[in-house]
A and B are shown apart, each in its own frame.
Chain A
């Protein structure tokens, strides 16, 4: 049975190269949205946000914020088109960005 989980993930841009990254369960920052930790309820979302503040303070990312996502079959999809474009790459250059090597959940950013 396919279960869709609705929650929030923590994202930011890496300081040294600007790459879009997502915080994982193990506390490292991954370039792939599928690896993102998805917090389902307010308490764990607040905990994610706290870790974001720490990551900004120690200069891993320039800014960190929560985004709305859904997880299905191990893939994670951002709800808002802006975040899907960040997670995948420009819709007008599908040869570029994370989408170009198949990472990013197989969702078309504009769909």
Chain B
């Protein structure tokens, strides 16, 4: 894992002092709310329905046990004993006081954490594959580049007042787990004939009001050109992105309005004009960072562990959890453990301070001190020996963290919605809870197979509903919440945007509607191998529309 050196420490300490000064000037009335708002947002501090909300950055979703313990301490000391893991691999606290925020940030800085650029019209927390450095299918660990991007984008003087927020995702694996096609910039690693790594640069994807899949502006960008090229993209966007309408201000709209070819020409022209950034310094820095991401001291283990297989055979609950929550590791005898933060009827992504501490302890003992946050709002222990899986599972189960539903119907993504958020038009969490209870039977979930249900409480789409196999969007009409259902979205390698199925439903009707959709899928599929998404792509919306709306029409 990356560790701060004296410079990183000094930088964050100065940033905390700067924020303290800004907050004091606001509290004394020297700054108006209008002036202070962009300043606090650049430090992740929102004003939500009940209090201030602080979004703490978890760069590329990687945490140490010590950092996780500090997050738990912060939850107890400054909040109400819990935190909410987000689709941007960050954590949010919901009950924060402005007058205490600088102290909170100072405590985070002691464990090399901050809230810089978790909001505002700047480059947000860089996200990546939550299995980075562990996945069996990976070309190379993308996190050194993600850390390079973190530093480069941190308080970038040219790009801190962009037309709108800007999100970058990076993946080093052919199977995209970082949703790179629905980001402002997605970077995907490829190898050429000589075995050198380069980047496919995808621009202009995104969700929100105008969901779009990004387009590839460069197929294979040499690693050494990366920052210069990104600066060219950012500059074209900063200069020409729309500033007259915040809903048309993202880079995807600029790409759309210019057209892909013109956009590419603008970027290439700017790239050629740029005096190359100091490539030697940049490469030296990348090498320095890469050393921190060297693989941990894995033991040489047999492919299969006898202890694990005995437990697997003897304990059906454990076996079920293994089948759904364990992923293949790149090293023999190791496994990736996915921790579900989606217990039956729970609030997706929420974890109590005690749960955080128990996970920190597990990471310490069994996973080389590493934890990951996934954009599905789950946590990951990336490097667990198969021999230890049973012990890990028992601890997780004792802490209500062993729900065997990763990637299944109960593994629902949901934004905070109207229960917390000022932007929301409807609640999302209660919808997630009722669906999760409806599909509580894990055997049934596994019979259904991979199913991604994503729920957003407004058109801004923090719950990524457009890329859910089933997407649910909460809206409001005359003070009453209602929900629109989309089908066929995906954020994976074959990314697609879901389309609206038909008229919306009241909150009470949603679980039945989902039930009907799932039943229809089970009827229509040509066997267990044909997933929900496969069926939508083969058969389209028709059978689902028929099942949902025809009975009402016939009545």
Contacts and interface: CB of A to CB of B under 8 A. Distances in A.
In the complex, A touching B (Cβ < 8 A)? yes
Interface residues of A, number: 26
A70 interface: no
Nearest to A61: B33
B97 interface: yes
B98 A15 contact: yes
Interface string B388-424: 0000000000000000000000000000001110001
Contacts of B452: none
B49 A86 contact: yes
Nearest to A100: B80
5 contacts: A16-B99, A20-B50, A85-B49, A89-B50, A92-B427
A56 B32 CA distance: 9
Given A19-B50, A97-B50, 9 more contacts: A16-B99, A17-B98, A17-B99, A20-B50, A58-B29, A59-B26, A81-B418, A81-B481, A92-B427
Given A16-B98, A18-B98, A56-B33, A90 B479 contact: no
Decide if the interface of chain A is mainly helix, strand, loop or mixed.
loop
Contact of A90 (B50, B97, B98, B99): B50
Given A82-B49, A91-B419, A63 B33 contact: yes
Interface string B527-547: 000000000000000000000
B429 interface: yes
Nearest to A96: B80
B50 A80 contact: no
B294 interface: no
Nearest to B81: A96
Give the top 10 A-B pairs by smallest Cβ distance, nearest first: A90-B419, A17-B97, A18-B51, A18-B52, A59-B29, A92-B429, A16-B99, A62-B33, A86-B49, A80-B479
Nearest to A17: B97
B47 A16 contact: no
Contacts of A17: 51-52, 97-99
Interface string B156-196: 00000000000000000000000000000000000000000
A86 B419 CA distance: 8
Nearest to B53: A18
B433 interface: yes
A92 to B, nearest CB: 5
Given A59-B29, A81-B479, A91 B427 contact: yes
Interface in B85-100: 95-99
Interface string A88-107: 01111100110000000000
Contacts of B427: 91-92, 110
A13 B422 CA distance: 12
B347 interface: yes
Interface in B65-102: 80, 95-99
Contacts of B504: none
A79 B99 CA distance: 32
Given A90-B419, A91-B419, A96-B80, A18 B429 contact: no
Contacts of A56: 33
Interface residues of B, number: 27
Contacts of A63: 33
Query: Which of B27, B418, B481 has the most chain A CB within a 10 Å cutoff?
Result: B418
Interface in A47-67: 56, 58-59, 62-63
A85 B479 contact: no
B479 A13 contact: no
Given A16-B97, A92-B347, A86 B50 contact: yes
B208 interface: no
B463 to A, nearest CB: 14
A15 B96 contact: no
Interface in B1-56: 26-27, 29, 33, 47-52
B132 to A, nearest CB: 32
Contacts of B420: 90
Contacts of A85: 49, 418-419
Interface string A7-24: 000000101111110000
B418 A82 contact: yes
B187 to A, nearest CB: 36
B410 to A, nearest CB: 16
Nearest to B428: A92
A96 to B, nearest CB: 6
A80 B29 CA distance: 32
A105 to B, nearest CB: 16
Contacts of B433: 92
Residue from B51, B80, B95, B419 whose CB has the most chain A CB atoms within 10 Å: B419
A17 B99 CA distance: 7
Interface in B477-514: 479, 481
Nearest to B347: A92
A18 B47 CA distance: 7
B204 to A, nearest CB: 33
Given A81-B479, A92-B433, A18 B418 contact: no
A16 B27 contact: yes
Among A63, A80, A97, max chain B CB count under 10 A is at A97
Nearest to A59: B29
A49 B530 CA distance: 60
A90 B95 CA distance: 12
Nearest to A16: B99
Nearest to A20: B50
A93 B479 CA distance: 21
Contacts of A96: 80, 95
A91 B282 CA distance: 50
A70 B228 CA distance: 60
A92 B50 contact: no
A89 to B, nearest CB: 7
Nearest to A81: B479
A31 to B, nearest CB: 11
Given A16-B97, A59-B29, A81-B481, A91 B430 contact: yes
A91 B474 CA distance: 16
Contact of B50 (A18, A59, A79): A18
